[in-house]
Homo-oligomer: A and B are copies of this chain.
Amino acid sequence: MYSFTNDYSEGAHPQILKALMETNLIQHTGYGMDEEHCGRARDLIRKEIGREDAAVHFLVGGTQVNLTVIAAALRPHEAVICASTGHINVHETGAVEATGHKVLTLPSPDGKVTPAMVQEILDAHPDEHMVKPKMVYISNTTEIGTQYTKAELEALSHICRRTGLFLFLDGARLGAALTSSANDLTMADIAALTDVFYIGGTKNGALFGEAVVILNPVLDEDFRYMIKQRGGMLAKGWLLGIQFETLFTDGLFYEMASHATAMADKLRKGLEEKGVSFYSQSVSNQLFPIFSDETIARLSKDFSFNIQARMDESHQAIRLVTSWATKEEAVDAILAALD
């Protein structure tokens, strides 16, 4: 049984484990305040994005980041806009609402938020009988494997700045986005166009950990209080620093993501050659091929994966995810299993 269920089925890249081993018995300052690793990882990320002024915070997981950033940014009557498929709207058990804020959505066939959607929501919320939209949340790659072009992100950034909305990019799969063949963005571009974004470690070869990068200083005010209050301040915070230090040394972050992307490209090409159709036009490491129920039953004997959606009476879209650890033989095997 080989799992294509997600990109966090294995532990961490061996270099990360090695770094953890080597520093294990050294005493460190806690809570992310150590200069040795958290400090150095912050510097590496600031250098990567070309922004000495960026604030960088390390948290353990994505839902934690999303709820902390949003709760820190919004006043009680303010709301966050996202695609109907947005992770915060569907897959976080109401974590944002539990901080008191409404999530405003519009249907989005490709998983992206457009300036037109933002404008439509702003127009529909003119006064104090309704919430006040104040932030746009996007994911890159999106929950259905699509990604933003530079032009799209610029247009979104433009409307956000013009109308006073914060722009927050969830980069749980930022590695996959930046290494996709369809990508024309750099991490520096993202830093320039958003108010806050995060770099996903969990889904790109870290044991755990997400690096929150805050570009708009308004959003950084007292942010550590918010991390602590929401339960996201790791006692042994240097464990996060060590991981991001390793990820941003010698390009390991991109190297791992490139492997995931290469495996997805091979898998996509193989599926396309077999005439398989897809639920979404994914260009990244999540693929959503549509199979008959029989095929799915057959594949399930040797491979595990999630069901995305039922398409008709006898067909479903499944989700196949590749990762930094995906074995090329497994890709070959699942393609072969379709013959």
Contact = CB atoms under 8 A, between A and B. Distances in A.
Contacts of A225: 77, 93, 128, 131-132
A151 interface: no
A98 B100 contact: yes
B208 A98 contact: no
A25 interface: yes
A68 B26 contact: no
Interface residues of A, number: 72
A164 interface: no
Contacts of A26: 10-11
B230 A231 contact: yes
Interface string A18-60: 0011011111111000000000000000000000000000001
A114 interface: no
Interface string A316-333: 000000000100000000
A293 to B, nearest CB: 18
Contacts of A233: 61, 63
Interface string A76-92: 11010000000000111
Contacts of A93: 77, 128-131, 225, 228-229
Contacts of A235: 8, 61-62, 202-203, 208
A128 B236 contact: no
A224 B128 contact: yes
Contacts of A63: 228, 231, 233
A3 interface: yes
Nearest to A6: B30
A278 interface: no
Interface in A271-325: 325
B91 A129 contact: yes
Nearest 8 A-B pairs (CB), nearest first? A64-B231, A11-B24, A77-B225, A93-B229, A94-B102, A94-B131, A128-B224, A9-B27
Interface of A: 2-3, 5-6, 8-12, 14, 17, 20-21, 23-30, 60-64, 67-68, 71-72, 75-77, 79, 90-95, 97-103, 128-132, 202-203, 207-208, 222, 224-236, 239, 325
14 contacts: A10-B26, A17-B24, A72-B75, A75-B222, A76-B226, A77-B93, A77-B222, A77-B226, A94-B229, A98-B100, A98-B229, A128-B225, A208-B235, A208-B239
Given A93-B229, A208-B234, 13 more contacts: A6-B30, A9-B29, A61-B231, A61-B234, A67-B231, A76-B226, A79-B94, A93-B131, A93-B228, A94-B131, A95-B228, A128-B224, A208-B235
